[in-house]
Chains A and B, each alone.
Chain A
Amino acid sequence: MAIADLDQKLTHKCSNFIDLTSRVSLVALSAIKCFLCGDQVTSEACAEQVRRLEEDGDVMRRDTEAHLYSEALIPESRGDLLGLIESTDDIIDQIKKVVLLFSVETPMIPSDFQEDFYQLTNICMAAVDEVLLALRLYLYEPRRVSAQLPRVYEKEKAADKQAALIKHRAFRQNNLSLSQQMHLRYFAHNIDQIADRAENLADRLSIAAIKQTQ
């Protein structure tokens, strides 16, 4: 039986948390896009918004977890759901980390790398989008989760490939100093980690959905 059939209040709280995560990912994409285009003012405004959303997310997560253990009607699934909520929170944390890294370290990204970085961010946010859909399915129709997960894995692999491409190119640019090459690698790595966090959530969902449908 689906969690939505067992505890509507909990489902509503989880659903709000998923919506918030989705907003974080959209605002972050915009922050990075603006940074790459040289629009620092809008980028900083978006970064501030991500910061606030992350704080709201922490409150929401704690409230959901408290409900899970004090009132929830699903004692047999609460461990799984707790793990899923925390893995979702890890995605938000990683996105916030990346946005703050751009804001604090203001990396010098050569113009011929800007499109590659935007593509990488876009793929990672697509992985987040796919896994959030899987999480929503888990709440309402857990049987459909397994069909959704390959889409997450596919995006995660694409992100790995794009990050490797950026790093490969960076370390072969003779006009860049080694420290600049390493700085580009650091940003590619951290953006790529967003897709890895989405993959972690997908792995958890895979097992939780099987248990939920047994």
Chain B
Amino acid sequence: MKSLFWRAKSLEEMSTEFLKVTKQACQVFLKGLRLYLEDSLEAFEEAYSEISRLENQGDYLRREIENQLYTKTLIPESRGDVLALLENIDNITNQAKQILMELSVEIPKIPPIFHQNYLELGEKSVKAVDEVLLATQAFLNDPLVIQQSLTKVYYWEGEADDHSEKLKRRVFRTPDLELAHKFHLRYFALHIELLADRAEDVADRLSIYTIKRSL
């Protein structure tokens, strides 16, 4: 099967760059989460600035690709699919940035007994994202290898779900925490878990597009 962009090399480069920016944003997200939990707030704020810059860069690239797709009428048969795919991937970066923004704004008090749980939840969610980015790259360039990555996305999304549920159960069974404090901790677990859900959304779309392309 041919690369989707075999007639549009500049689009291929921009898309690769867009995926790279998304991956970087998720790495920065993990770094930021770790720094917040270590109480290194100055370095954490730098991570937040960095992810904001990456999000802007991603928005610019996405709009540029979309613009080219429609103004130059490139790949007319698949451009609707590519457009929806890009918007879903953009949601991943938005979610990663939103979590750091919420940590920065709301400065939740996360008791040390939960630090490891939050970190592992973040790592599992980012693994789901890494896999879906590989799957997307495959969709654009080499659709035959896509299924393997999709299986891993669903695996890591499931892991993140389970981990998040365990964390929330622990939080709500911890005495000495006010109900509002438990809600706040649950809110952050939910938002980190949503990162994996965003990856799953992309994977669902990729599954359908792969079938469409093989017909």
Contact = CB atoms under 8 A, between A and B. Distances in A.
Contact of A178 (B67, B70, B104, B181): B181
A169 to B, nearest CB: 9
A214 interface: yes
A167 B180 contact: no
Contact of B106 (A167, A177, A210, A211): A167
A177 B87 CA distance: 38
- Report whether over half of chain A's contact residues are helix, strand or loop; otherwise say mixed: helix
B66 to A, nearest CB: 6
Contacts of A182: 180, 183-184, 187
Given A206-B66, A214-B73, A164 B105 contact: yes
Contact of A210 (B71, B87, B180): B71
B181 A207 contact: no
Contacts of B107: 171-172
A211 B70 contact: yes
Contacts of A172: 107
Contacts of A178: 178, 180-181, 184
Given A164-B101, A168-B105, A207 B70 contact: yes
A89 B13 CA distance: 36
Contacts of B63: 206
Interface in B103-158: 104-107
Interface string A163-190: 0100110011000011101100100000
A112 B101 CA distance: 23
B104 to A, nearest CB: 8
B83 interface: yes
Contacts of B104: 168
Contact of B105 (A167, A203, A211, A214): A167
A210 B67 contact: yes
Nearest to A171: B106
Nearest to A203: B87
A179 B180 contact: yes
Nearest to B90: A203
Nearest to A146: B67
Interface in B45-75: 63, 66-67, 70-71, 73
Nearest to A167: B105
A185 B184 CA distance: 11
Nearest to A211: B70
A113 B83 CA distance: 40
Given A171-B105, A182-B187, 9 more contacts: A164-B105, A177-B180, A178-B181, A182-B184, A203-B87, A206-B66, A207-B83, A210-B70, A214-B70
Interface of A: 164, 167-168, 171-172, 177-179, 181-182, 185, 203, 206-207, 210-211, 214
